[in-house]
A and B are shown apart, each in its own frame.
Chain A
Amino acid sequence: MLDQIEAAAPLYIADAAAPRRQEKAIADLATGFRRWRLPAALARLDIKNRYRGSVLGPFWLTLSTAVMVVGLGILYSSLFKLPLEEYLPFLAVSLIVWNMISAIVADACVSLTSSEGIIRQLALPYTVHILRCVLRNALIAAHSLPLILLVFLACGVMPGAEALLALAGLVLVAVNAFAVALFLGMVCARFRDIAPIVASAMQLAFFLSPVLWKPELLGDRQVWLPLNPFYTVMETVRGPLVEGGVAPLIWLSAGLYTLLACAVAFAFFVRFRGRIAFWV
């Protein structure tokens, strides 16, 4: 019963003189995605273990996000002199999307080191560990995303049909999440100082990107915003929901940054895949 599944590839060759790195990296990705059930089960397990014994479980994050949205909404709407029912939907989408992005980036740093025990014992595709990291963050985000709907209902605003484009934005975020988890997972496994650097960079990015403030506040300097990858990727989700759509330039920028992230991650993966087991 057990042999049938793996019998397809029974010859394992590792030759240091002819490493065939690209071929192996592609095979790793293909096998990892084909076996998505494993990372999905591991991601569910991660969530279950993280909140074991807790009454609200992952809904604690929903609750704290809700409190933050209301608190910051009241404060900043008076600071920026914006009507609350106009500012609150913007802030809710911003904060929830940003929390999702920053949680993914933080978790990406441990995407491989947290699976150290498995990596050193079982010859699994590394893609499995990366997918596990992406999926567990997707599960966590899924607990907060419905809050957006709640805020929209409370403020009496509803986006039109263009809101469906936010789904395309979410796909873009997911692709980026995979690339970042792959890249940072490897770099952080090798250099243990990167994770704290990433954490402080993310904090800086939070204030430099239009999360709390609206892009219009920048005035003339708004034209530079499409250079900020955090802004453009976030905007592909936020724009369709609260601003009635996204400018083509933003889509273009977000798409280019995504391609860049994937290319860099893939290049690193091809070159250093064989070293990961020694790094973690």
Chain B
Amino acid sequence: MPYIAARDLTIEFPLYHLGARSLKKRILAHSPLRLRQDEANRVVVSALRGLDFRIGAGERVALIGRNGAGKTTLLRTLAGVYEPVGGRLEVQGLIGSLIDPAAGMDQESTGRENITLRGLFRGLDEAESAVMAEEIGAFAGLGEFLDVPVRSYSAGMQVRLSFAIATVMAPEVLLMDEWFLAGDAEFREKARVKLTKLVKDADILVLATHDLGVVREWCTRVIRLDAGRIVEDGPVEAVLAAA
């Protein structure tokens, strides 16, 4: 059964290119909260500090918190991009991440080429990707623009293509940033149907969002992050009522 288990999970970003010693001192003196010096005398930002949680199959978790609270960093860590500096993380199950819409998108290539490329990123071969291209093109409503470089797309078309490419999957653990809830009005309804299906089919959903309406509609549990720590964790109504 898919699950996510984190014990004392810690992520720190070293600030490597800070330069002069005096500048370093000044920064450390003025913001003692999340910037600190590690053993090797580097200035590090504590992005996630000692998180403990376990998410079981069937749970729909919303990550909420102010900008910079660590929501996206936590999603990327769960996706395997950042290796924890301290603690332990276990993720069982096929991970699908909807974090950055444009990841791996090449502006100069056509929509179809981008779909093939994304297929390769996922480990498909060209033939499988070609089949996928028609499906994605139809869903994104690109029509003849499928064979035009992405650079010449309107912003809305780019969003639609990214969304369509990113959501062709059936993951067990779905990691999603709130970007995917945005989109133009015409496309939104179609997107919503697709996302709802994706969310329903996944065993675990972890969603970073500010939109409390979405939290109430989709989620069963809320984790509130503040300055890299978990400050609240519980059923939706309990956490939202306290706020």
Contact = CB atoms under 8 A, between A and B. Distances in A.
A278 interface: yes
B122 A41 contact: no
B59 interface: no
Interface stretch (A120-128, A162-170, A231-239): A120-128
A17 B83 CA distance: 12
Given A1-B128, A123-B80, A277-B81, A38 B120 contact: yes
A10 interface: yes
B109 interface: yes
Given A2-B124, A12-B95, A49 B88 contact: no
A274 interface: yes
Contacts of B10: 16
A206 to B, nearest CB: 30
Interface string A11-46: 111111101000000000000000101100110010
B90 interface: yes
Interface string B161-175: 000000011111000
Interface centre among A1, A5, A16, A274 (most CB of B within 10 A): A16
B91 interface: yes
14 contacts: A1-B128, A2-B168, A7-B94, A13-B90, A14-B83, A14-B84, A37-B120, A49-B106, A52-B108, A118-B103, A120-B81, A122-B103, A274-B83, A275-B83
Interface in A109-142: 117-124
Interface string B1-44: 01000000010011011000000000000000000000000000
Nearest to B2: A10
A216 interface: no
A196 to B, nearest CB: 15
Interface residues of B, number: 48
B52 to A, nearest CB: 14
B213 interface: no
Nearest to B170: A3
Q: Which 4 A-B pairs have the closest CB atoms?
A: A123-B80, A121-B103, A274-B83, A15-B88
Interface residues of A, number: 39
A279 interface: yes
Interface of B: 2, 10, 13-14, 16-17, 76, 79-95, 97, 99-100, 103-104, 106, 108-109, 113, 116-117, 120-126, 128, 168-172
A45 B117 contact: yes
A5 to B, nearest CB: 4
A11 B120 contact: no
A199 to B, nearest CB: 19
A192 interface: yes
B122 A2 contact: yes
B82 A277 contact: yes
A13 B122 contact: no
A5 B103 contact: no
Contacts of A49: 106, 108
A48 B107 CA distance: 12
Contacts of A279: 16
A35 B123 contact: yes
B10 to A, nearest CB: 7
Nearest to A41: B120
Contact of A10 (B92, B103, B108, B168): B92
Nearest to B114: A45
Interface string A81-123: 0000000000000000000000000000000000001111111
Given A5-B122, A5-B124, A35-B123, A122 B90 contact: no
Contacts of A123: 79-81, 95
B106 A190 contact: no
B91 A11 contact: yes
